[in-house]
Structure 1
Amino acid sequence: MKKYALFILFCVSPFLHAETLLVAGFAGYKRPVSELSQQFEKVTNNKVDLFYGNMAQVLAQTSQSDDVSLVIGDLSFLKQAKKVSFSHFIPLGDGTLVLAYAKGKSLDSPQQLLSEKFTRIALPDTKKAVYGIAAHEFLSVGELDKKLKNKLMEVSSVPQVSSYLISGEVDAGFINMTEALAIQDKIGGYIEIDHQTYSPIYIAAAVVKGHENNAAIKAFQNYLNSDAAHKALQGAGL
């Protein structure tokens, strides 16, 4: 009986130490981060609380709280953070900029944005949002930004661009591949932007310094290295 009792205790012991993780995610990765967190909760007894925003918002909130354990977003921006220190980074994949268009529209090339068929084009914040910065870099090539000046509408984040695309309030918009795959049934379609026209985007999970020895963080890191997590990330276009 003692052997059985010890075996049962060993099996349930991970659940006795279950914790709640506070994870921050850049808005453009809301769907995959949410999916990963839900799967992690299913395979462990840990709870994940999430909040999202553009890069500046996420890092500002993280710097003001000791409770945030992990931040998921653009690696280069995370490394440049001045008010938040990270112990290490876990690579998750590469980001891809796409140009999506609303239902009822068709688009084969970004140059077609110059036509009269496209009057409103949305893009995320060009200073604080990863894909807004990427879109600005792309548009600067060939001075498309100047040619489209009166058509461009800058909003706060990728999800907001998506919302406008779905509602038809804009004709086209710059978002990431992850978001495009998630809303593809609600828009007309999308085209991938040449990676050579904007700075590389590497996505990572950054462990906030001071939380690296947290048991739940270690469990989450192990999960991120699992086949199930890799499959979910690939399915999200990363």
Structure 2
Amino acid sequence: MTIKLAQVWKTALLALLIALLASGCGKPAGKENAAPAQAKTPLFAYVGANLKDPVSELAQMYEQKTGVKVELTFNNSGSLLSQLETMKKGDIYLPGGMPFVEAAQKKGYIDEIAGTIAYHTPVIITPKGNPANISKVQDLARSGVKLLIPDKEATALGKTVFKTFDKLGITADIEKNGPVYLESPAKVVAAILMGQGNAGIVEYSNTYQNQDKLDLIEIDPAVNIVDQIPCATLTFTTQKEQAKDFLAFMKTEGPAVFAKYGFKTKS
């Protein structure tokens, strides 16, 4: 009787053990049974084409720090303004100059601005050897000088340098020479490297990787107009606190990364 009872208990315990294993109670906690982590909603940023390298690196740094991806679209500043005006969505606006942020602000698109992250500093470049003997900005108005400039309406740099021409009273002579307008400072550099002009206007950082292939003439600080590179949050954002966090990150980490790519970070 006692032997039979012991066998019954052994059978019952074995059945219970099998049931527990089948239900997963024997699996390690926190692995197979854990619910997958929910992906964080990415931020979307409109970024000036000339800022691609530093902002791409900063976006990667921010994702590594917070787990939040920053999706970037690049274009000249004027096209970005038209794009955000049409789409009326997104979180961050980072054009090449403050005038575009101010224009967006007047339209009611800007929530908060952080600046200055870095500066857009116009400089003159020429083919190596400077065959046209350009030594100052006034030389660009000499008859026959073929000048390449970023688009004066769509780019921050183009807008800025024409303010300098106006200040010096040489705009009419510059335009009489028939300057060639290109989509971005990077395209101006490429054209000068191919010998397609006597001189070009670019941002100081655009010369960073081609210093041995170009001559650089800095514009007299007394007449040069240096623009701020700001970062702003948009009123369209559905992630206001996350966008503000990215703004604070840009203000703290941005200057050092921009300097790494040849931008000036002190006026």
In structure 2, relative to structure 1, the CA distance for the partners of 1:102 and 1:37 (3 Å cut) is: farther
The answer for the alignment partner of 1:153 in structure 2 is 180
Equivalent in the alignment of 2:67? 45
Deviation (angstroms), 1:95: 2.3
Query: Who is 1:79 aligned against?
Result: 102
Cα deviation, residue 137, structure 1: 2.0
Q: In structure 1, what is the equivalent of residue 200 of structure 2?
A: 173
Task: Tell me by how many angstroms 1:24 deviates.
Answer: 0.9
Alpha carbons of structure 1 residues 54 and 151: separation in structure 2 relative to 1, 3 Å: same
Mapped partners of 2:107, 2:141: distance in 1: 41
Selected match of 2:79 from 50, 53, 57: 57
TM-score under structure 2 length normalisation: 0.71
Alignment root-mean-square deviation, CA: 3.0
Distance 1:79 1:68, change over 3 A: same
Contact (CA 8 Å) 1:137, 1:197: kept in 2 or not? no
Name the amino acid aligned to 1:31: D
Look up the SS of the partner of 1:78 in the other structure. Answer: helix
Aligned-residue offset at 1:125? 1.6
Q: Matched residue of 1:184: which SS?
A: coil
Question: Could you give the per-residue CA deviations for residues 76-118 of structure 1, whole angstroms, max 9, x where no partner exists?
Answer: 32122244511100111332111122234264333444678x8
1:1-238 mapped onto 2 (5 Å cutoff)? 16-73=38-95, 74-81=97-104, 82-83=106-107, 85-91=109-115, 92-105=117-130, 107-113=134-140, 119-148=145-174, 149-150=176-177, 152-181=179-208, 183-185=209-211, 187-211=213-237, 213-226=239-252, 228-235=253-260, 236-238=263-265
* Corresponding residue number in structure 2 for 1:12: none
Unaligned runs of 5+ in 1: 10-14
Identity of aligned residues (%): 20
Q: Highest CA radius of gyration, 1 or 2?
A: 2
1:188 aligned partner, one-letter code: L
Unpaired segments of 5 or more residues in structure 2? 1-29
Residues 122 and 203, structure 2, Cα contact 8 Å, conserved in 1:
yes
Matched length? 224
| Distance in 2 between residues matched to 1:223 and 1:17, nearest whole Å | 21
Evaluate the alpha carbon distance shift between residue 173 and residue 223 of structure 1 in structure 2; reply closer, same or farther with a 3 A threshold.
Answer: same
Q: CA deviation at 1:172?
A: 1.6
1:120 & 1:201 partners in 2: Cα distance? 25
For 1:212 and 1:93, locate their aligned partners in 2 and report how far apart those are by CA, in whole Å: 27
| 2:200 maps to amino acid | G
TM-score by length of 1: 0.78
CA contact (8 A) 1:69 1:211 kept: yes
The one-letter code matched in structure 2 to 1:98 is V
Q: Distance in 2 between matches of 1:69 and 1:16?
A: 21
Query: 1:87 touches 1:212 (CA, 8 Å); kept in 2?
Result: no
What's the offset of the Cα at 1:136? Answer: 1.4
How far 1:47 sits from its partner (Å)? 1.9
State the distance in 2 between where 1:24 and 1:186 align.
32
Q: CA deviation at 1:141?
A: 4.0
The SS at the match of 1:18 is coil
Secondary structure of the residue that 1:64 maps to in structure 2?
A: helix
SS of the residue 1:98 aligns to? strand
Deviation at 1:142, TM superposition (A): 3.9
* Distance in 1 between residues matched to 2:235 and 2:48, nearest whole Å: 19
The structure-2 alpha-carbon separation of the partners of 1:19 and 1:216, relative to structure 1 and needing over 3 Å to count, comes to farther
